[in-house]
Amino acid sequence: MANDDQWRHMASAPKDGSRILVTVRSSEQGPAEVDLAYWAHGDHHGGEGWRASDSAPGRIIEYAEPELKCWMPMPSANVSRASMPAPWEGEDAEELDGSGI
């Protein structure tokens, strides 16, 4: 798919447990950043919702819906890209996917 490296609305993010990249909104704790996350169904470790992929039993990192701005699929291996993509810096989610038109 040609647009696999484009940021998308969180409403369209897969909730099947697959790992995705997310833009975590900037806050008083720091600037916007990119994290690897997945949708977790409720279990004895935590409730249903977005979790950081480095969560472990007893140390669950959960994201509230408003904390996540947008998502993109995991990129394929690309030797020309040595780091994570930059976080989405747009003003509003309406700008993603050209929906502001």
Q: Is residue 12 part of a domain?
A: yes
Q: Is residue 25 part of a domain?
A: yes
Higher per-residue confidence, 84 vs 95: 84
Q: Is residue 81 part of a domain?
A: no
Q: Is residue 70 part of a domain?
A: yes
Q: What is the mean pLDDT of the chain?
A: 82
Q: What's the pLDDT tens digit per position in 8-52?
A: 999 999 999 999 999 999 988 889 999 999 999 877 766 789 999
Q: Is residue 87 part of a domain?
A: no
Q: Is residue 26 part of a domain?
A: yes
Question: Count of domains in the chain?
Answer: 1
Domain extent at residue 67: 8-76
Q: Is residue 35 part of a domain?
A: yes
Q: Determine if the pTM surpasses 0.75.
A: no
* C-alpha distance from residue 25 to each of 46, 67, 90 (Å): 22, 5, 11
CA distance 51 to 15: 11
